[in-house]
Amino acid sequence: MGSNGRDRLRKRMTWLYFALVGVGVACLLKILYLSIFEMAVASGTSDKCVDTTEPGWESLVRDDTYCYVRENTLRPVRGEIFDDHGRVLVANYTVFEVAFDGKGFAKEYKDTLSKNPEAFKELLRALADDFQSQFQNRYPKLTSDYYYDFFVKNIKDKRYATIFPVNDRDDRKWIVGIDTSFIKNRPYLYKKVYSKKTGDSVRVRAFRTHLNFVPSNVRVNPYGEMARRTLGIYSNDVKYGLESSMNEVLAGIDGSKKYLELNHAKVPLRDRLDPVDGYNIHTTIKLEIQHAVHNELSKKLTELNAEWGCAIVMETRTGEIKAISNLRRTPGSQSYYTESMEYALNAKVEPGSTFKLASLLAYLEKNLNDTAKSYPMFNHTFEFKTKSGSVKRYPKSDSKIHGETYGKPSEIFQRSSNIGIAEMIFTTYGRRGFASYRDQLRKMGLLDTIHTQLGDLMPARIKDGTNDFNTYYSTCFGAGFTIPILKTLVYYNAVANDGRMMAPLFVRYVTNNYDTVRSFDPVVLNEQFVSDTTVKRAKKYLEQVVWGPYGTARRYRNPKCMFAGKTGTRDIWDAQSKSYRKDINSVSFCGYFPMDKPQYTIIIYIYGVPHHSDVAVDAFSRIASSIMNSSNYSATRSVDDLPLLKMGRSGPINKGTFNKLVSGMGYDTVTYDTDDDYIRIDFGDTNRMLSVRAVPHSEYQKMPDVHGMTAADAVAEMAKAGFRVRVIGRGYVKKQVYDDNARLVKLYLEPL
């Protein structure tokens, strides 16, 4: 290169250098200008910006306004619902809304669409065929032509349109991750190119479909219909169950993120409030018992072709609801039943003869010697004196047997005689004593509202203070008024619990990702709702219903599963004809088992069957036997009856739950003198004594030492400390290793 050429090159480089310096200086000056003079605009505080998050912002807009502060709501993750052993009953699940950006497609391929439209027609046709193939089971009416026309129309109109919206309540139409992966990986969207470095062929995206998959969290019930009505739904148009009553706990707190909208550009601002995720609730439901209740009730309803049925299992000592099923026949089906209404709390039904226990308790409270008198059972004419002195007669018949037959209260209760139980009440409280009888029912809590975690449990709707004979008479055996099914279970459970009336408990405690936030203790409604003597005598009456010579439930005696209770059969009121139907009944049975040491109280209520109460007893017996025979029946035995195993060293345990935990396992509660929040069990012997020590804050933040623990206990401790776990082998933990690459703890187990 000559000297002239070098001079020209030097001049060009000099000009290029000064040009770059000039651009750099200009950028620096612009930055300084923006940071000094336009800082108010960048932060959204300029008088030319309007904050749309403030009320009345519309009045602040002026002609020279050109930027707006807007806000996006950040949604928290809704808490999940678990059973009493930590198994998920309601979980979050990610589904997708599928939308097509016709405007973006038309803009990106504007030139190509005009030059080679056939290529894009082939692309859209292939995409439409794949949509029809992938989603034909969920959207059978949508053809390939429909999808093709949808794409073409929205490209032409330059519109953003939704193909598949998210339907929270229809899981049959959910679009999930496997669907989005299928669409994103269609081969015609890619082409092969060769890497200059390796010489290998690689796939690169050739076309953008402008299909948007917008994620959304929905609620899913892994166990289908089981307890679905009780677990509930919370959406814009439907709210019920625990999802509704515990919404404040589950929902969390919304966050927010502000941004600046300036010249059609969105600039994030520093103002950000992170959402607070919802808490998890741990219910009292026991999955094994719930499974047995759901299956047996469903089988019985199908067998009887019933309209609907309800079954509830309550733990006698605590009032915890271990299972609850509310099944109704699906319209148009003869054999398919689904959870469609909370019958346990809300059904307005007459209790029938199960209410005779309430009348029996009212009778026993006023009669210390219940064997001294006999009462009519089958046929009787009740005589009532009027104010004028005349006598009104009301002939009643409970049987085809002619003539009056008398029996002791025990036989009357066994035979479930309406006449007998009414005469017992009339004799005790007087022919005009309905108000006194009703006051006694109030003392027993039957006319009180009970507040539960699922909603208010209303009282029995018994008329107040009437002297009408038929009202007084029918109330004695559970007719002419309504009472919630769960309310009946509550006072039956009180008898099984030696007079201690417990409120129904649906939720045990609330947790976040790390610890227990709140616990719910059993609620005692009445320490002794009737006298101890009355309870003991009433239990014998309930036992005789099953084991006595005249008991209406004697057909289903089972020495391997001994239970006690009371049957109920009631005609169904027809609102149209304003009379009771004689062709179908509501039937029920409420009782407890094991008979000597009640652990569970169960009520079965079946509506709309041409049968009597023995079918409800059959369902009760099957459910009770299923619970008794399950591998988990050890849970129904008291702690003192269980063999006590030695307890090894534990991980850190919060002091707030320590005593409850160890006493529930059968060990004596120990005292400890420490200000630390956590303690550790060092050793537990077979004499029910524990050795514990304090755990400093610095120690329990580290990885727990789970050597010697079972897999379940070790995983629980690691989860509480925030570690992911992989279990290898069976038995007890012999070795624990933290895998830094996988960010999880590997637990190696070996049998002892």
- Report helix angle 485-496 to 532-547, nearest 10: 110
Cα 84 to chain centroid distance, Å, stands at 12
Residues whose CB is less than 8 angstroms from the CB of residue 535 and which lie 6 or more positions away in sequence, other chains included? 495, 498, 499
State the DSSP code for 378. Answer: S
Cα 24 to chain centroid distance, Å, stands at 62
pLDDT value at residue 743: 62
Q: Report the C-alpha dihedral over residues 648, 651, 654, 659, rounded to 10 degrees.
A: 0
Q: What is the per-residue DSSP string for 695-733?
A: E-HHHHTS----TT-BHHHHHHHHHHTT--EEEEESSEE
Q: What is the per-residue DSSP string for 495-540?
A: HHTTT-EE--B-EEEEE-SSSEEEE----EEES-SS-HHHHHHHHH
Query: Tens of pLDDT along 680-726?
Result: 766 555 455 666 776 654 455 567 788 878 887 888 778 777 678 88
State the DSSP code for 61. Answer: -
- 325: three-class secondary structure by DSSP: strand
What's the full length of the chain, in residues? 752
How far are the Cα atoms of 550, 723, 726, 750 from residue 719, in angstroms, in the given order?
Answer: 56, 5, 11, 21
How far are the Cα atoms of 75, 399, 650, 682, 709 from residue 695, in angstroms, in the given order?
Answer: 37, 73, 11, 11, 18
The C-alpha atoms of residue 382 and residue 15 are separated, in whole angstroms, by 122
- Domain-wise residue ranges, the chain: 290-635, 640-750
Largest CA distance in the chain: 145
How far are the Cα atoms of 126, 140, 188, 211, 212 from residue 184, in angstroms, in the given order?
Answer: 13, 22, 10, 9, 10
Low-confidence residues in the chain, pLDDT < 70: 1-3, 33-48, 60, 63-66, 191-206, 263-264, 333-334, 400-403, 631-678, 681-691, 694-702, 722, 740-743, 752
The C-alpha atoms of residue 152 and residue 106 are separated, in whole angstroms, by 10
> In degrees rounded to 5, what are phi and psi of residue 477?
-120, 25
Strands 280-283, 507-511: pairing kind: antiparallel
- The vertex-102 CA angle with 98 and 107, nearest 5°, equals 135
Structure tokens at 379: 């046929």
Question: CB atoms < 10 A from the CB of 562, how many?
Answer: 16
Cα 279 to chain centroid distance, Å, stands at 13
pLDDT value at residue 598: 95
- 382: three-class secondary structure by DSSP: strand
The C-alpha atoms of residue 226 and residue 338 are separated, in whole angstroms, by 9
Give the DSSP H/E element, type plus range, for residue 623.
Answer: helix 614-629
The C-alpha atoms of residue 316 and residue 329 are separated, in whole angstroms, by 30
- Which of 494, 506, 168 minimizes the C-alpha distance to 342? 506
Could you tell me if 67 and 264 are in contact, meaning their C-beta atoms sit under 8 angstroms apart? no
Structure tokens at 645: 């195993």
The C-alpha atoms of residue 149 and residue 166 are separated, in whole angstroms, by 22
Q: pTM surpassing 0.95?
A: no
Cα 147 to chain centroid distance, Å, stands at 38
> In degrees rounded to 5, what are phi and psi of residue 486?
-65, -30
pLDDT value at residue 642: 47
Cis peptide before 643 (omega within 30 of 0): no
pLDDT value at residue 634: 47
- 621: three-class secondary structure by DSSP: helix
**What is the 3 state secondary structure string of 75-116?**
CCCCCCEECCCCCEEEEEEEEEEEEEEHHHHHHHCHHHHHHC
The C-alpha atoms of residue 33 and residue 23 are separated, in whole angstroms, by 15
The C-alpha atoms of residue 324 and residue 226 are separated, in whole angstroms, by 8
State the DSSP code for 276. Answer: B
Q: Report the C-alpha dihedral over residues 372, 373, 378, 382, rounded to 10 degrees.
A: -160
- Which of 240, 228, 298, 353 minimizes the C-alpha distance to 614? 353
Give the DSSP H/E element, type plus range, for residue 383.
Answer: strand 379-385
The C-alpha atoms of residue 132 and residue 139 are separated, in whole angstroms, by 8
pLDDT value at residue 66: 62
> In degrees rounded to 5, what are phi and psi of residue 81?
-120, 135
Q: What is the per-residue DSSP string for 539-601?
A: HHHHHHHHHSTT-TTGGG--TTS--EEEEEEEEEEETTTTEEEEEEEEEEEEEEESSSS--EE
> In degrees rounded to 5, what are phi and psi of residue 166?
-90, 125
Structure tokens at 112: 């190509």
Cα 593 to chain centroid distance, Å, stands at 26
The structural architecture, per CATH, of the domain 290-635 is 3-Layer(aba) Sandwich (3.40)
Radius of gyration of the chain (CA): 36
Could you tell me if 345 and 457 are in contact, meaning their C-beta atoms sit under 8 angstroms apart? yes
